[in-house]
Amino acid sequence: MIRAFAAGVASLLATLLVASVVIFAAMQVLPGDPAQVMLGVNARPDTLAALREQLGLDQPLAVRYWTWVSGLLTGNPGVSHTYAVPVSDLIAARLGVSLPLAALALALAVAIGLPLGMWAAARRGRAVDRGVLIVAQLGIAVPNFWLAMLLVLLFAVTLRWLPPGGFPGWDAGAGPALLALVLPAVALALPQSAILAQVMRQSLVDVLAQDFVRTARAKGLTRGQALRRHALRNAFIPILSVLGLQFPFLLAGTIIIENVFFLPGIGRLVFQAVNQRDLIVVQSVVMLLVAIVAVVNLLVGLAYAAVDPRVRRAA
Amino acid sequence: MTLLTVDNLEVDVAGRPILRGVGFTLTRGETLGIIGRSGSGKSMTALALMRLLPQDGQARGRIVFDGTDLLSLDEAAMCGIRGRRIGVVFQEPQSALNPLMTIGAQVAEGIRQHADVTRREAASLAAETLARAGLDPARVSPDRFPHELSGGQRQRVAIAMTVAMRPDIIIADEPTTALDVTTQARILDLLRTILRDDGPALLLISHDLGVVATMADRIAVMDEGRIVETGPTRGFAGRAHAPQVRTLIAAATLSREIAAPVPPLPEHTPAEHPPLLAAEAVSRRFGLPRAHPLAWRQYRRAVDQVSLSVQAGESVALIGESGSGKTTLASLMLGLQTPDAGRIAYRGQDIAGAGRDVLRRMRADVQAVFQDPYSSLDPRRKAGWIIAEPLHLAGPIAADERDERVAEALREVGLSPDDANKYPHAFSGGQRQRIAMARALVTRPRLVVLDEAVSSLDVVAQARILDLLARLRADHGLAYLFITHDLRVAKAIARRVAVMHDGRIVEEGMTAEVLTDPQHPYTRALLASQPDFSAFAA
Amino acid sequence: RTDLAIGVRLEPPHLDPTAAAAAVIGEITYANLFEGLTRIDREGRVIPGLAESWEVSDDGKVYTFRLRQGVFFHDGSTFDARDAVFTLERAIAPDSINPQKALLEPIEAVEAVDAHTLSVRLKRPTAQLPFILGLPALVIVGHETAETNRAMPNGTGPFRFSRWHMGDRVDLVRNDRYWGEKPALSRVTFRVIGDPSAAYAALMAGNIDAYTNFPAPEHLPQFEADPRFKVVVGRTEGKTVLAQNNARKPLDDIRVRRAIAHAIDRKLLIDGALYGYGDPIGSHFAPQNAGYVDLTGRYPYDPEAARALLREAGAEGLRLKLALPPPSYARRSGEIIAERLRDVGIQVDIVPMEWAQWLTDVFRDKNYDLSIVSHVEPNDLDIYARDDYYFNYDSPEYKALYAELAAEQDEEKRLVLLKSLQQKLTDDAVNGFLFLLPKLGVWDARLQGFWENAPIPANDLTGVRWER
Amino acid sequence: MNRDFLNARLLAGAIIVGGVCLMALISLVWTPYDPLKLDIANRFAPPGPRHWLGTDQLGRDVLSLLMRGAVGPVGVSISAVTIGLVVGATAGMLAASSGGVASYATLRTSDFLFAFPALLIAILLRETLGPGMLNAMVAIGIFYIPIFIRVSYGASLPVWRSGYVAAARVAGRGSLWIATVHVLPNIAGVLTVHTSVQLSLGVLAEASLSYIGLGVQPPQPSWGRMLLEAQTLLPISPLLAIAPGLAIMVTVMGFNLLGAGLRQALDPRGAFIPESEAVR
Ligand SMILES: Nc1ncnc2c1ncn2[C@@H]1O[C@H](COP(=O)(O)OP(=O)(O)OP(=O)(O)O)[C@@H](O)[C@H]1O
Ligand SMILES: Nc1ncnc2c1ncn2[C@@H]1O[C@H](COP(=O)(O)OP(=O)(O)OP(=O)(O)O)[C@@H](O)[C@H]1O
Ligand SMILES: [Mg+2]
Ligand SMILES: [Mg+2]
């Protein structure tokens, strides 16, 4: 367990180091001049040069890379070109939207998908099962941004139950803030929950067919007891890996959905920063996203170990 | 006093009839052995008794247990019967245990299901039962998980799980099939102890006549979903007349029947002629997982300083229990793994440094039949293709000549040349083994390494394969390195045996000598574990 | 009600109009947070701002501004001539990053005559100066707080900065120490909603009270039909042109450019891209400005004439790249123009790009054939007189005419010159002149006081109030 | 779950996928109207005999747009999956064969690639290469590589350790022979199933990219971009948003059904390869 953790962390750090080089290099090949973007069409060359100097863009690559990476380590990768505030503040504020959104979506997906999958598995082969399978097929196929569109039309424009988008900020109170996240989270969660339901059903059906479930029944456990005490935990193992896989999708989905609902999250930030060539922000956000995915992967690995003694003891 | 009466039990699964008119009785404290070939419906009978048939299964008839017809009970009442009154030890302890639960918890679960005890009481009762089943808490703690146990230990857990609830009937479905002889003997001992201490009735299911003969008071033989013969064990063989039963009996006593004479070795001494294939003090170790990151890496020596040679025309048996390193040694000798120390010599030449053509000659000369016949056949290739795969070793070959050689090989192993166009899944287990054999023979090798070539087959198929091997040896002067855990088989085929234990060869010598007068205690234990047929045959 | 939620399309990069060109900074801050010495009103006229009045010396080279007294910055410090000097000197300094620095080039020196008098000395007469000083980029900043304005704007305007929820909105509150008439609104929220359908939903759902420039013309009929809303379509200064690289073959041939001009169907364009809102233009000049001549009839839509001109120029089978920046007017017009050009035999490859790329590829490197963009600066005929501008238009006659205009103080003569400048551009078919970008105002019918037109990108909220 | 239902899935999937691919191909040479032809006077025409699905905001025929719009999603999805399959499956298979350093390096690289959200790759590519189908293909393709590495590694590991590979070695065959003759055919089933599942994801991914302007570029129509444009028109002409959305859904479902059907049909045990494995 400790060893697995240590190995995981080591490979995580290696991943992040390589990622930082790749990302930094990618920024250098982005065409477009940050200064020009900021100052617009009437700017004169000397004005642009002055700005570039102010932004530190005239320094050698290695110096800029080092400044950035060492800044990352201390938690302050630099100052945004356009906003002129520390990148860390900028990101922290945006995470305040993106993380709750992703978490809410994940929670919703789990809360909808898993019970649905269990229900279908418990009644496998019957009408319920087929119904769930068909609904899941539909759910998987729906583009989330399209769903978002329809949701806005229905719940915000027509029924006016929920705000059509935007984010009032947490200081406006948790109520309005959460309300603003409901539609985006639903749009994100529904397709994911369809996947989860499908995986849950299949995994549970597989487990229920295994001998140890029969053994449990032979001990006198009822169907429900066997399902709860023996099948669920085993069925959860594939779910874990699916959750790990879904996370990057969710993240990508968040970026798109934030644009549909004009939520001031990480996704909007990165889009905007790319358009304005706020390189320091772009590279820091990308780095952050890569780190999040890598950390989630590590956590999934550890969760595996927590759930499955075969992995735990072998590691 | 009759405890259980099964009357005209019919089971359909997905509309297909599986059991047809099964009927038998079981009295208190009695042991009934059910034998029959694979697929004859033994396990299905057990499941029907427990009312745990597959989802699309349906049972008709009567199963009267202690005065009530189980088929008429509702699910809740049945839950009270299962485990508490009728317990079952399922086939394959590997999959019958929940991999995510400690063994102690799995035993305790059944106890708590039927008795009003605290968690702690159940746990201590479970530990006690495990100890009774031969899992000393000091060595095998109840906190272990199933994957941390050997096959035999898992079987003990499965038995403990059932015994803990002290049921009136224990159904044991193939409790020893996956185990080697010594472990098998110990498990059977355990069952005897439980019968003596708790006195339940036992329904012992096995395809192995030997096992049933040593345990059961009465025997029932199943075939194709019916019971074709029942009677007391004593003198069963003499009384049986159903033809299916006769073949079973014939096969079970095969050691006498196929003891074809082992041909004498051509005159030469190992010094003048280097042996065909030899392992010289080879070792092979596998790294064990570290206990914690800073711990030294521990190794397990799967093969430890082993020397073994096979002369041309000689047949050598390598026996030993599961995990003793037989397969590892074989794959070292085949050059599939490289030894950590020592060398493998083909006609006196180290294969590690040998050139291409030497290896090529060795490949043509030394062929192998692997432990599991099915998994050694590529499921996506037809039998003919599979058999022809090594033919390239003798250089390019024309298509019709190739087909001819394949047909010949097929005929040799007793299959028809038409079988070349079938896929492996279309063959039975015994036939698959023959295909593997045909592939090994098609290059006209000098030596065939056979790893447990017959262990996974039922007795009838075993006998046929052994016959074939004897004939081939006679016809082509083939040498065998025959790996097995079954002494009868070793006796039938080999001139010389080597006994392997814990990665070392503990005893080696002429078959007759070793098996009649074993020197090493392990060999003696091995011999003592052989099932005893005397009561049954008399 | 005294609160107002107003929608803007783009997120401001920051809130300092003197340090970036983004129009949205002005839309939020101009006349609300920050004020200039002069001020541009809803009709585009120059009116007094922080300067009560000003005089020009006879040679037109010295401007003297009399500054208002009793003006406080939001942080409590007083405004005086030092701040004005500081602001202007900062804008013209060598390390200045003021986006309008180019326009200040004629300024030679700035000095404070006394605490409330400022004099600006010019290298040559520049009649435009009061107008320039009224632009958003030249608002007066406090000398202690100039560097923190990006995140904490500190100006003299009728509203104070309250809070910026980055990515979502900017909150302003009434400045109770404002020197002028206090605004009717006590709280103003600028919400950033760029997506047209989101904007539509937000207005419909009542989350936003007003959009002074609604992003989706297709929705206007629905708002018009809804009594809750008032729709006011006004004019901006956005002269939308099909920019052409005049130095590139075959666009250096006037016949080709004229052929393209003939292939532009302005009516179709305005209908298709703007749903009928917007005025056609025939030159680089907005119809609402004094001196405008209607030149839209100069090259009527005539595919036959276009084909003939192309034949004459030997430019058949032409293939051109059309670079399109992100705004939807550009993307939509691009598709329509491309289709029309195909119709007269010019294959057009559309290359959509982000602003960053447009600025480097098209604007800076002039590596393009055609592009569509709206020039929103008012009075910007000078761009055609510049040497290095991306149209690559190089006409000595035009430059001479423009120099004359720059030096001319007499209003009558200026109008005549303006007309000939427009005429010249159209004659040379420098660009395809398409339409004037409309300002699509949609707001709650109970609101009044918004600007109808947008002479500069600004939302002056001083006069906005809810109907009682 | 009976077999008929499953076979129905295979059939339905094949019909849908075949139909969409055919439609995309046909649209390259023929559509009811020129999908680029504007007719602004006739915009927002409701569905009728002349325009079966009506016209869009520029008077283009929606049916023709839908047909041509299939080219992007289908083309991008197929090429991206091909990239992922060729690079990823090969790498995964070889990594499983060698063990040791090469295998470790491959798996680490795969994890590394996996950590890069595809969307970011697409954004960065757009900025460097310019937007368009090509970079959508590459971005999605890069995203697929680690997925296929994992799949083919996982599937081929047991094959490399199987008895028949050992038998082939005893028969004197080299690694290349074994990889192509034994391993590849034996993982082909798993790869096929994954391919069809990933194709469905590819259609969704292309739609998302086009939707945010990173995919197929105007004037060429694509479903994602049609949705983007229709989004603002939702209250005016809902059909414009509903038609491409449904087209995406049906296509994605087609690939999914095909995958589910294939999984069932290809599994020699006649049972399911668990869905979970297919996602993994
Ligand atoms: N779940 C199932 N569904 C359908 N048929 C089954 C199922 N399980 C077993 N069968 C069939 O029922 C028959 C009897 O099987 P059963 O498992 O009882 O045989 P067995 O005698 O126990 O054989 P073995 O010695 O191999 O364990 C076989 O033909 C088998 O194919
Ligand atoms: N690749 C491997 N990695 C780690 N340990 C291994 C490996 N192969 C074999 N072992 C271990 O080496 C020991 C000997 O294994 P081997 O397969 O040679 O036994 P065997 O005598 O053939 O047993 P059986 O009769 O069950 O086939 C066992 O403990 C096994 O767990
Ligand atoms: Mg059985
Ligand atoms: Mg073995």
Q: What is the pLDDT of residue B155?
A: 86
Q: How many residue pairs bridge chain A and chain D with CB atoms within 8 Å of each other?
A: 139
CATH number at residue D218: 1.10.3720.10
Cβ atoms of residues D37 and D60 within 8 Å? yes
* Residue D169 to chain A, least CA–CA distance (Å): 30
Encode pLDDT of A243-257 as tens digits: 877 777 777 788 888
- The secondary structure of B67-115 as a DSSP string is TEEGGGS-HHHHHHHBTTTEEEE-S-HHHHS-TTS-HHHHHHHHHHHHS
Cβ atoms of residues C122 and C62 within 8 Å: yes
Quick check: A236 pLDDT over 90?
Answer: no
Assigned domain for A239 exists: yes
Average pLDDT score over residue span A23-43 = 80
Q: How far is A137 from chain D (nearest CA, A)?
A: 6
Q: What is the pLDDT of residue B334?
A: 92
Give the C-alpha separation, B6 to B442, whole Å.
52
Q: What is the pLDDT of residue A47?
A: 81
- Starting from the edge strand earliest in sequence, which strands make up the sheet with B57-65, in order? B16-27, B2-13, B57-65, B68-69
Could you tell which of B182, B328, B455, B522 is best to mutate to test the pocket of ligand 2, judged by most ligand atoms within 8 Å of the CB? B328
Model confidence at D223: pLDDT above 80 = yes
- Which of C341, C276, C335, C275 lies closest to C309 in space, CA to CA? C341
Query: Which residue of chain D has the CA closest to C335?
Result: D219
Chains in contact with B, where contact means 3 or more Cβ–Cβ distances below 8 Å, are A, D
Residue D42 belongs to some domain of the structure: no
* D53 inside domain: yes
In the beta sheet, which residues pair with residue B316? Answer: B481, B496
Cα B273 to Cα B32: distance, rounded to the nearest angstrom:
56
**What mean pLDDT is reported for chain D?**
83
User: How many domains does chain D fold into?
Assistant: 1
Q: Which helix (H) or strand (E) holds C440?
A: strand C432-444
pLDDT at D276: 32
Mutation choice for D interface testing from C193, C357, C362 by most D CBs within 10 A: C357
- pLDDT given for residue B259 in this prediction: 43
Q: Is D172 on the interface with C (CB under 8 A)?
A: no
Domain containing residue A171: 87-314
**Domain assignment present for A62:** no
**In-domain check, residue A284:** yes
- Residue entry with tokens 């592939």: B439
Q: Is residue D129 part of a domain?
A: yes
B260 falls in which pLDDT band (50, 70, 90)? very low
The DSSP-derived string for B335-373 is: TSS--SEEEEEETTEESSS--HHHHHHHHHHEEEE-SST
Q: How far apart are CA D191 and CA C462, in angstroms?
A: 67
Position C119 scores a pLDDT of 94
Q: Which atom of ligand 2 is nearest to the CA of B331?
A: 18
Strand-strand pairing, C465-466 and C62-67: unpaired
Q: How much is the average pLDDT of B226-234?
A: 88
CATH number at residue A303: 1.10.3720.10
Flag whether D244 is in a domain. Answer: yes
Do residues A226 and A234 touch, judged by C-beta distance below 8 A? no
For an interface test with A, give the residue of B100, B290, B296 to mutate (most A CBs within 10 A): B100
DSSP for residue B423: -
C162 phi and psi, to 5 degrees? -110, -55
Residue C339 neighbours by CB under 8 Å, 6+ apart: D36, D37, D38, D219
What is the model's pLDDT at position C29? 94
Q: Which residues are registered as beta bridge partners of C191?
A: C7, C169
A246 vs C: CB within 8 A? no
Q: Which residues of A touch B101 (CB under 8 A)?
A: 230
pLDDT score at D38? 82
Average pLDDT over residues B21-25: 92
The answer, yes or no, to whether ipTM is higher than 0.85 is no
DSSP-derived letter for residue C185 is -
The rounded Å distance from CA B10 to ligand 1 centre is 14
Q: Are strands C432-444 and C229-244 parallel, antiparallel or unpaired?
A: antiparallel
Q: Residues lining ligand 1, judged by CB closer than 6 Å?
A: B 13-14, 18, 36, 38-44, 54, 91, 207
pLDDT at residue number D236: 81
Instruction: Find the radius of gyration of the CA atoms of chain A.
Output: 24
Per the CB < 8 A criterion, the answer to whether A242 and A202 are in contact is: no
CB atoms within 10 A of CB C333: 27
Measured from the Cα of B455, ligand 2's closest atom is 25
CA distance B277 to C285: 99
- pLDDT tier for residue A311 given thresholds of 50, 70 and 90: low
| C-beta atoms of B363 and D172 within 8 A | yes
Using 50 as the pLDDT threshold, list the residues of chain C that sit under it. Answer: none
Above pLDDT 90, what percent of chain A? 11
Question: By the CB < 8 Å criterion, does C196 face chain D?
Answer: yes
Interface check for C164 against chain D (CB to CB < 8 A): the answer is no
Query: Stretch B225-229: mean pLDDT, rounded?
Result: 89
Q: Taking the CB of residue C46, how many other CB atoms lie within 10 A of it? A: 18
d(CA B533, CA B212) in angstroms, rounded, equals: 9
Q: Which of residues 110-169 of A touch D (CB under 8 A)?
A: 124-125, 129-130, 137-138, 140-146, 149-150, 153, 157
If one counts every other C-beta atom within 10 angstroms of the C-beta of residue B243, the result is 10
Nearest to B98 by CA among A223, A215, A228, A313: A215
A57 CB near a chain C CB, below 8 Å?
Answer: no
CB-based contacts of C344, cutoff 8 Å, min separation 6:
C259, C262, C263, C303, C306, C307, C310
Nearest CA in chain D to B449: D170
B155-178 average pLDDT score: 88
Counting ligand 2 atoms within 8 A of each CB, the residue from B297, B326, B336, B375 with the most, and so the one to mutate, is B326
Name the neighbours of A, counting chains with at least 3 Cβ pairs within 8 A: B, C, D
The amino acid sitting at C205 is A
| A76 interface with D at CB cutoff 8 Å | no
Angle at A203 between CA A202 and CA A204, to 5 degrees: 90
Neighbours of chain D (3+ CB pairs under 8 A): A, B, C
pLDDT band with cut points at 50, 70 and 90 for residue D1: very low
Tokens of A285: 């956000």
CA distance linking residue C211 with residue C194, whole number of Å:
11
pLDDT at B255: 44
Q: In total, how many domains does chain A have?
A: 1
The alpha carbon dihedral of A39, A41, A45, A47 has a sign of negative
This prediction's pTM: 0.81
Number of residues assigned to chain B: 538
Reported as a single tens digit per residue, the pLDDT across D232-251 is 787 788 888 889 999 999 99
For C297-349, give the DSSP string.
TSS---HHHHHHHHHHHT-TTEEEEEEE-SSHHHHHHHHHHHHHHHHTTEEEE
In the predicted model, is pLDDT for residue A281 greater than 70?
yes
pLDDT digits (tens, 9 = 90+) for B291-320: 544 556 677 788 999 999 998 888 899 988
Top pLDDT among D72 and A253 is at D72
Is residue A192 one of the residues assigned to a domain?
Answer: yes
What residues does B229 pair with on adjacent strands? B221
3-state secondary structure B210-230: HHHHHHCCEEEEEECCEEEEE
Return the ligand number nearest the Cα of B319: 2
Domain encompassing residue D92: 3-37+49-277
Residue B368 CA, ligand 3 centroid: distance in Å: 30
Evaluate whether residue A230 is within a structural domain: yes
CB B266 within 8 A of CB B313: yes
A31 part of a folded domain: no
B353: buried, middle or exposed (CB in 10 Å: 19+, 13-18, 0-12)? Answer: exposed
Phi, psi of A107 (to 5 degrees): -60, -45
Phi, psi angles (nearest 5°) of residue B301: -85, 105
Binary contact (C201, A156; C-beta < 8 A): yes
Confirm or reject contact between A173 and chain C (CB < 8 A).
Answer: no
Q: Would you say A148 and A183 are in contact if contact means Cβ atoms under 8 Å apart?
A: yes
User: Atom 12, ligand 2: which residue's CA is nearest?
Assistant: B302
pLDDT tens, residue by residue, B395-424: 888 899 999 999 999 988 888 899 899 888
Contacts of residue B505, defined as CB under 8 A and 6 or more positions apart, other chains included, come to B306, B307, B308, B498, B499
The pLDDT-based confidence of B288 (bands split at 50, 70, 90) is low
Residue with tokens 């990618």: A26
How confident is the prediction for chain B on average, in pLDDT? Answer: 84
Give how far the C-alpha of residue C245 lies from the chain's centroid of Cα atoms, to the nearest Å.
22
Cβ of A156 and C22 within 8 Å? Answer: no
A68 in a structural domain:
no
Q: How far is the C-alpha of C93 from the C-alpha of B485, rounded, in Å?
A: 95
D3-41 pLDDT per residue, tens: 555 578 889 999 999 999 999 999 999 888 888 888 888
Measured at the alpha carbon of residue A271, what is the angle toward residues D79 and D236, in degrees to the nearest 5? Answer: 80
More confident residue, B470 or C322: C322
Our mutation pick for probing the ligand 1 site, out of B43, B49, B50, B90, counting the most ligand atoms within 8 A of Cβ, is B43
Amino acid at D123: I
Q: Could you count the other beta carbons within 10 Å of the beta carbon of residue A75? A: 9
**DSSP bridge pairs for C110:** C120
Residues of D with CB below 8 A from A98's CB? none
Confidence of residue D279 (pLDDT cuts 50, 70, 90): very low
What lines the ligand 2 site, CB under 6 Å? B 286, 300, 302, 320, 322-328, 371, 485
